Amino acid sequence: MIWDKQHECMDRKALQELQLARLQQTVERVYNKVPFYREAFDKIGVKPQDITSLQDVRKLPLTTKAALRDNYPYGLFAASLKETVRIHASSGTTGKPIVVGYTRNDMETWTNLVARVISMAGVTDEDVTQICFGYGFFTGGFGLHYGMERVGATVVPASSGNTEKQIMLMKDFGTTALVSTPSYALYMAEVAKNMGIDPKSLPVRVGLFGGEPCTENMSREIQEQWGIKVTDNYGLTEVMGPGVAGECCEEPGMHINEDHFLVEIIDPVTEEPLEYGEEGELVITPLTKEAFPVLRYRTRDITVLNPEPCRCGRTTVRMKKIKGRSDDMLIIKGVNVFPSQIEAVLMQVQETAPHYQIVVSKKGFLDELEIKVELRPEWFTDNYKELLAIEEKIHRYLRKILGIGAKVTLVAPNSLERTTGKAKRVVDLR
Ligand code: DLL
């Protein structure tokens, strides 16, 4: 087990001193090695020496995804390629990917931080872990792989896809810890059932899920289908990959590895700082990165920070489950709607399965929201009246929670596309 008590249970004041020293080092490094940042500093008249307290982080420029894209591929690297031992990239939907690098020290830090997250979830060297994340440019596969090896678990590097084989391997190899996206976990449960295998009869006891949002209700669904302990973990390529934050076994919320990441919450529109407990966009400054140290990276992820000490003994701030991305927020008839709010409603309806799609279109000048959701096989019927009653019930729930009307379309079990990676829930036709 990797539990770095010295850092994970640190006195807050000592932690802040460590954070400041590391922030100063990072700022110095970035200023000296990355022309993009030096120019940005000079433009606003800030020098590395101006950072004398943690609050001074606000003097630094925010970094957006656009800056990473504009400096493709190596423009923001603060280490030479000779010092860089690994490249990862985030695919993005259009154009060039975002490229990040790791020195040998970065790899060591990354491995340790993922190992912490794995240990928080209760995985040990007694576990056999099946890693069903894609291996390759995606940080999920390799990130969890190295972390699991550090913990001493037996790694089955299954990667994603070939789902029937995944189930066979779980059974034959005695997999106890499952690693995947939440949506792939649900898909795997479905495939197991189609093979005549109850997922609960498999040896899996704990799941580490991440890479995409997952509401509480969705977690509960996974837990019920698999009969396992479900944990969430968070990260992003731009600041490292997985290993930024993870859930412990005591209280809700994901512990942020704050000795390596300085976090802020800002108002996504005004960019003004928000307090603990207030909902806003997470901004992250990695404090120990060598090859790719971005400053104040705007994650676009919406969450709330909770500084309350946790029963587990860790003193690090916890982040709530991600509500969604500010760029995924739909504005429908002037109302802000996050896909996660729709998911939360759908997951309360017993007749529907956790497979849905949100379609937004325009009819004339008006936005139209349609929710396609699968019926559970046991509720499947061709009785029109019954179907209509279910649709109306969902329509009513949605109006109550979201304050707007949506067209609800029930579709047959297994008719929506399944994913072995991150689910694409929203189709915006506007
Ligand atoms: O998804 C890193 C990762 C891999 C984390 C495996 C955990 C496990 P990217 O592909 O760069 O990196 O995508 C990062 O995915 O900004 C969030 O919007 C979303 N995301 C990641 N983890 C979670 C989570 C990896 N636990 C983007 N809950 C982030 C909600 C998540 N959203």
Q: Which helix (H) or strand (E) segment is 24 a member of? A: helix 12-33
* 49 secondary structure, DSSP code: G
- Indicate whether residue 324 lines ligand 1 (CB < 6 A): no
Question: Residues 6 or more apart from 382 whose CB is under 8 A from it?
Answer: none
- Name the residue at shortest CA distance from atom 22 of ligand 1: 211
Q: Please tell me the predicted confidence (pLDDT) of residue 94.
A: 65
- Calpha distance 161→428 (Å, rounded): 26
Contact present, 111 and 145 (Cβ < 8 Å): no
Q: Whose CA is nearest to atom 6 of ligand 1?
A: 140
- What would the pLDDT profile of 178-211 be if each residue is shown by its tens digit? 999 999 999 999 999 999 999 999 999 999 999 9
Share of the chain above pLDDT 70, in %: 99
Q: Domain residues of the chain, as ranges?
A: 1-325, 330-428
Q: Is the CB of 322 under 6 A from ligand 1?
A: yes
User: Residue whose CA is closest, atom 19 of ligand 1?
Assistant: 212
Task: Point out which residues pair with 156 in neighbouring strands.
Answer: 130
Amino acid 364: pLDDT: 86
Token pair in block for residue 243: 């290993």
Q: What is the pLDDT of residue 148?
A: 98
What pLDDT does residue 37 have?
98
Q: Is 303 in the pocket of ligand 1 (CB under 6 A)?
A: no
**Of 214, 140, 139, 125, nearest to 176 (Cα)?**
125
Rounded to the nearest angstrom, the distance between the alpha carbon of 378 and the centre of ligand 1 is: 33
Q: 148-165 pLDDT, tens per residue?
A: 999 999 999 999 999 999
For atom 21 of ligand 1, the residue with the nearest CA is 211
Query: Which of 236, 237, 299, 426 should be mutated for ligand 1, with most atoms under 8 A from CB?
Result: 236
* Two tokens, residue 33: 């090695």
Which residues of the chain are modeled with pLDDT < 50? none
Index of the ligand 1 atom closest to the CA of residue 98:
11
Q: Is 390 in the pocket of ligand 1 (CB under 6 A)?
A: no
Mutating to test ligand 1, I would choose from 301, 304, 327 the residue with most ligand atoms within 8 A of its C-beta, which is 301
How far apart, in whole angstroms, are the C-alpha atoms of residue 89 and residue 96?
A: 10
* Per-residue pLDDT at 92: 63
Position 252 scores a pLDDT of: 96
Q: What would the DSSP string read from start to end of 224-254?
A: HHHTSEEEEEEEETTTTEEEEEEE-SSSSSE
Distance separating alpha carbons of residues 293 and 246, to the nearest angstrom: 21
* Pocket of ligand 1 contains residue 210 by CB under 6 Å: yes
CATH top-level class of 330-428: alpha beta
Instruction: Kindly state if the Cβ of 213 falls inside 6 Å of ligand 1.
Output: yes
CA distance 208 to 205: 10
How many beta carbons lie within 10 A of that of residue 210, not counting itself? 27
Which residues are registered as beta bridge partners of 154?
128
Q: How far is the CA of 110 from the centre of ligand 1 (A)?
A: 15
Distance 216 CA to ligand 1 centre (A): 16
pTM above 0.85, yes or no: yes
For 41-62, write each residue's pLDDT tens digit.
999 999 999 999 999 999 999 9
The pLDDT value given to residue 93: 59
Compute, in angstroms, the gap from residue 241 CA to the centroid of ligand 1.
8
The pLDDT, as a whole number, for residue 73 is 96
* Same CATH fold assignment for domains 1-325 and 330-428: no
Question: Residue 237 Cα, ligand 1 centroid: separation in angstroms?
Answer: 8
> What type of residue sits at position 79?
A
- Pick from 331, 278, 330: which is nearest to 302 by CA? 278
CB contact set of 404 (below 8 Å; sequence gap of 6+): 332, 333, 335, 337, 369, 398
For the structural domain made of 1-325, what CATH number should be given? 3.40.50.12780
Please, are residues 217 and 356 in contact by the beta-carbon 8 Å criterion? Answer: no
